[in-house]
Amino acid sequence: MTRYSRDELRELAPLHALGATTPDEAAAMEAAMATDPELAAEVASFRDVPAMLATAQPVTPSAALRGQLLAAASALPQDAGPSVASAGTVSGPRRVSAAPSAARRWAPMLAAASLVIATLVGADGLRSRRELDRLRNTNVALAEQLQRRERTLDAMFMGERDLYLVQVGAKEEATGPGIQFFWNAKQGRGVAHVFRLARAPEGRDYQIWALVNGKPVSLVVFNSDAEGHAIVEVDGLATSVNGVTDVLVSLEPKGGSPQPTTAPFIGGTFPGV
């Protein structure tokens, strides 16, 4: 079996993927691939291209891709045809025949060139589809964000005379954490606008309570972002605020608690009480 350098084996990778190597080359490739995972992966990548293209959607190549294709085509060897003698005469007809091995080489080279072109077109198509998917996902995320903002504004401003605002803060209100809690009794919904509240430690969450007739009632469990902000929607609020005197916040185990396990660290008095 002929010995081949690693560069020669890499040049044979596309031919081997197409089954166009000689028995000697194929044996050398298989022996090398058994101990060279990188070479095996390269051959496998060429084998994957036809299957990828079978499911790809037609894509118009970009101008940059067209330049790549032309460069790849110009790099292929050109058949100069039979040569013309520069002096003397040709005595009788002359048969020119290429060696069987050379003729056999032309088909794999053209097939390899086609595979390179297919790889470029396929990659360009995949990039286009990925970009389209990214844009589609971005549009979906923006639509969801707008819907959340609309719900938030609706809860904050559509309560009319049944909208209550509780300022929940620490003693050092100018620098300490604070919450603006909007209670829309008309809709039974609320919004908590949280600011300057450091993110809860690992395994812990914040929990907002309403003090109703002297008993804490859980309203929502949340956590701040890295900058200490949060906008939290609260559903299922009571449509009657009778008996509500305070809104309080405590630090609880992850997921919240049925009743406060720590003393509330900030609170605010319900308006009108």
Own/partner pairs, 210-214, CB within 8 angstroms, 24+ separation: 210/244, 210/246, 210/247, 210/248, 210/270, 211/244, 211/245, 211/246, 211/247, 211/248, 212/238, 212/243, 212/244, 212/245, 213/243, 214/245
Residue 71 in any domain: the answer is no
Can you give the pLDDT at residue 219? Answer: 96
| Same domain (yes/no): 48, 152 | yes
| Same domain (yes/no): 140, 164 | no
CATH of the domain at 193: 2.60.40
Predicted confidence pLDDT, tens digits, the chain (273 residues): 788 888 888 888 877 877 778 888 889 889 999 999 888 888 887 766 555 545 555 555 556 656 665 665 565 555 544 444 444 443 444 443 434 444 445 555 555 556 656 665 555 566 667 777 777 777 777 767 666 666 666 555 565 678 888 999 866 666 789 999 999 888 888 899 999 999 999 999 999 999 999 999 999 999 999 999 998 989 889 888 899 999 999 999 999 999 999 999 999 999 865
| Same domain (yes/no): 183, 234 | yes
Residue 260 in any domain: the answer is yes
Can you give the pLDDT at residue 163? Answer: 86
| Same domain (yes/no): 20, 127 | yes
| Same domain (yes/no): 129, 221 | no
| Same domain (yes/no): 262, 192 | yes
State the burial class of residue 236 (Cβ atoms within 10 Å of its Cβ: 0-12, 13-18, 19+). exposed
| Same domain (yes/no): 27, 122 | yes
| Same domain (yes/no): 229, 127 | no
Cβ-based neighbours of 240, under 8 Å, separated by 6 or more: 185
Backbone conformation region of residue 74, classed left if phi is above 0, alpha if psi is from -120 to 50, else beta: alpha
| Same domain (yes/no): 6, 141 | yes
Residue 39 structure tokens: 């070479």
Residue 30 in any domain: the answer is yes
| Same domain (yes/no): 135, 246 | no
Residue 186 structure tokens: 């008309």
Length of the chain: 273
Domain boundary among 157, 191, 222: 157
| Same domain (yes/no): 50, 138 | yes
Q: What is the DSSP string of 153-168?
A: HHHHHS-GGGEEEEEE
Domain boundary among 140, 157, 174: 157
- Number of neighbours of residue 219 by Cβ within 10 angstroms: 23
User: Which of helix, strand or coil describes residue 270?
Assistant: coil
224, 199 Cβ separation under 8 angstroms:
yes
| Same domain (yes/no): 134, 231 | no
Q: How many domains does the chain have?
A: 2
Can you give the pLDDT at residue 181? Answer: 92
Residue identified by tokens 């031919």 is 15
Q: Which domain holds residue 261?
A: 160-269
Residue 22 in any domain: the answer is yes
Residue 145 in any domain: the answer is yes
